[in-house]
């Protein structure tokens, strides 16, 4: 255990040192290359900034408006038929949209039901097997200038749906 802690503490400084030594041995201008990379990174941030602002505003409006609770209440009878745990529904709805919101929802689930409960385990597996799809698609496609994301969106949302359903099935079978 101490080795893992030691390795965790020295991993990044060691990577930086190895990169600098390699650059010097290859007779590269390491600092100039670093500055060029930083400049390119800032350009990318400026390119995706409007997309991020739009996403954050939309997520904030969605969370504060109570739409999620309305959707959960509307879908509860349908998901009861499939024995889908309703406590997970807000997490499943928000996961493709916002990582920070789902962390908050997952934390609330853990506090309310416990980390070792069936609901807590399902929430953990969902968090590990799905992605913040809309954020990821928006950032990646806007950074390279792709405008038509329709097919990517459907494929990614389908993957999220499969991840959520599989998480529930696996947790119910194993625990």
Question: What tens digit of pLDDT does each residue of 70-93 get?
Answer: 888 898 998 888 888 899 998 998
pLDDT at 122: 94
* pLDDT above 90 (res 105): no
What single DSSP character describes residue 88? G
* Confidence grade of residue 61 (pLDDT, cut at 50, 70, 90): confident
Q: Which two tokens mark 24?
A: 């010097």
Structural domain contains residue 11: no
Q: Give the chain's domain count.
A: 1
* pLDDT above 90 (res 153): no
Q: What is the residue range of 146's domain? A: 42-174
pTM of the entire predicted model: 0.66
36 CB-contact burial (10 Å; exposed 0-12 / middle 13-18 / buried 19+): exposed
Structural domain contains residue 162: yes
Average pLDDT, the chain: 87
Structural domain contains residue 54: yes
* pLDDT above 90 (res 14): yes
Structural domain contains residue 158: yes
pLDDT at 3: 83
Structural domain contains residue 37: no
* pLDDT above 80 (res 96): yes
Structural domain contains residue 101: yes
Asked whether the beta carbons of 119 and 88 are under 8 A apart, the reply is: yes
Closest C-alpha to 168, from 69, 72, 86:
86
pLDDT at 5: 86
pLDDT at 84: 85
Structural domain contains residue 26: no
pLDDT at 162: 93
């Amino acid at each position: 255990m101490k080795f893992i802690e030691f390795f965790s503490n020295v991993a990044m400084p060691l990577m930086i040192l190895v990169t600098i030594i390699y650059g010097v041995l290859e007779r590269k201008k390491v600092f100039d290359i670093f500055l060029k990379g930083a400049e390119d990174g800032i350009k990318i941030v400026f390119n995706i900034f409007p997309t991020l602002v739009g996403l954050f505003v939309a997520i904030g409006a969605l969370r504060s408006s109570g739409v999620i609770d309305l959707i959960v209440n509307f879908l509860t009878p349908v998901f009861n038929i499939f024995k889908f745990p309703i406590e997970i529904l807000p997490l499943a709805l928000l996961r493709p949209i916002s990582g920070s919101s789902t962390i908050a929802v997952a934390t609330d689930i853990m506090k309310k039901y416990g980390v070792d409960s069936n609901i807590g385990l399902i929430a953990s597996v969902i968090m590990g097997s799905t992605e913040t799809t809309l954020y990821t698609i928006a950032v990646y496609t806007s950074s390279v200038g792709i405008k038509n994301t329709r097919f990517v969106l459907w494929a990614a949302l389908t993957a999220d749906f499969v991840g959520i359903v599989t998480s529930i099935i696996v947790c119910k079978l194993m625990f």
